Amino acid sequence: MESLKAEARKMFCSDYAKECTENGRLVPTVNRNPIAPPLLSIEYDSMEKDCAKYFLYYSAIYVALKQWKVRVNKSELCHIMVIGGGRGRLVEYCSDCLSDLGMQGFVFVVEVNQEAYHILNERFAQNKHIHILKPFALRTAFEMQLAKDMNVFDSKIQALIDTKPIHLFVSELFGSFADNEFVSEILCASIQTFGKKDASGKYVCTSIPESYTTYICGIHSDTLQKFFQNHNQEKLYILQVPEDAQMLSNITMLYTASCYKSSEELISNITLQKTNQVKPLTGIAGYFEATLYGDICIHTAPTPKQNTYFWETAFFPVLEDSSSLWRNQGTSINCFFARKCKQIKPDVNKIFDINSPVLHMWYEWGLGDVPCKHNGGGVHHSLHL
């Protein structure tokens, strides 16, 4: 396992240096809704350059299937579902791992992007063990059941809902504190809709990723300070931290969330230990660590563990009163952080319409014992799916 981690780290360092040289650093951009509009081809290209991330995903899939093979009857078929197939990298990995391990099974692929759907169909047309399902937005178990009751699905998807055969779910819809903030909701809905159960009704399926842990750190940057003078300071941005950025505190854990259940409300009150008491606070940088399977993890925080760069840093700006509060405190300061998510009842006339969201989530943050909340209630910025 240590050699696997070292190899991933080596890949990351090489690829990240090349990415920064060729394309520079990503300037602040407001975190957008994950599938409206869906990813473009050039964005898939960028995603697939992160070799270390895919190396770790392949390793996680291989180990998960190898361990599953030991536990079950040799004649049992293994059913895998890839949530968000993109252009097929993870689909190919699942198929290859089944073959490499001498296992029989099927890979089912859920994708909402019509362009990606056509690419997947063309790429895997000759593989009878891979089934590309007709596009739909998998968001909540309630909407899935409603669609089934309304006979929205074709017979293949209807049968999968009825039989619930899936042993392993694989998704790259990660990025709590980056691009896509709904991973726990989507995977939870996937498991409830398609997940294998034992005779007692207990789920016996596995999810890759299994969980994620979020981290934050106080940051000062003159570059970002100038940027936010002319931009809304109560929105979640994603960026590559500028070269002039300085960490003002230790990197501190906020919370851990499971991908097997919906994370409707996650609230943390923590203390940030300052490492620099002179520079003013520009905002709070957010990172995550994802447990893919067992001990196989991806890390986005700028530490010796970092091994992926496609998921950029999340950035939560602060207003002047919070910056002043930071300067006036001693060697530490209290920090409030909350992730909130609400499910909205779907319009029966707009099932799976990406312009009619059924999930609404936002972050609130602030400093001090009685924090002045930024973005309270999601009034300035929220994400929809």
Domains of the chain, start order: 2-27+34-208 (3.40.50.150), 211-384 (2.70.160.11)
Share of the chain above pLDDT 90, in %: 69
Supply the pLDDT for residue 179: 65
Distances (CA, A) of 360 to 111, 236, 281, 344, 384: 21, 14, 29, 7, 5
Residue in 286, 270, 138, 297 with CA at minimum distance from that of residue 211: 297
| Per-residue confidence (pLDDT) for residue 385, from 0 to 100 | 92
Please report, as a single letter, which amino acid is at residue 82.
V
Rounded Cα–Cα distance for residues 281 and 74 (Å): 58
Amino acid at 220: H
Q: What would the mean pLDDT of 45-63 be, rounded to a whole number?
A: 89
Averaged pLDDT for residues 19-34: 83
What sign results for the dihedral spanned by CA atoms 290, 296, 302, 308?
A: negative
What whole-number distance in Å separates Cα of residue 214 and Cα of residue 267?
Answer: 12
Listed in sequence order, the residues at least 6 apart from 199 whose beta carbon sits closer than 8 Å to its beta carbon are none
Beta bridge partners of 220: 246
Mean pLDDT of the chain: 91
Secondary structure letter of residue 76 according to DSSP = P
- Please give the pLDDT value at position 209: 95
Per-residue pLDDT tens over the stretch 163-202 = 999 999 999 876 678 767 899 999 999 999 999 999 898 9
User: Distance (Å, rounded) from C-alpha 318 to C-alpha 280?
Assistant: 11
Q: Residue holding tokens 């940027």? A: 227
26, two tokens: 């990503």
The model's pLDDT over 109-128, given as tens digits with 9 standing for 90+, comes to 999 988 889 999 999 999 99
Least confident of 10-19, 93-102, 298-307: 10-19
* Furthest C-alpha separation in the chain: 67
Q: What is the pLDDT of residue 16?
A: 87
Kindly indicate the confidence band of residue 61, based on its pLDDT and cuts at 50, 70 and 90. very high
Nearest CA to 369 out of 309, 329, 315, 313 is that of 329
**What pLDDT shows up at residue 176?**
78
Q: What is the pTM of this model?
A: 0.94
Position 14 pLDDT exceeds 80 = yes
Which residue has tokens 């008491």?
277
Residue 42 has pLDDT above 80, yes or no: no
- CA separation for the pair 288, 71 (Å, rounded): 31
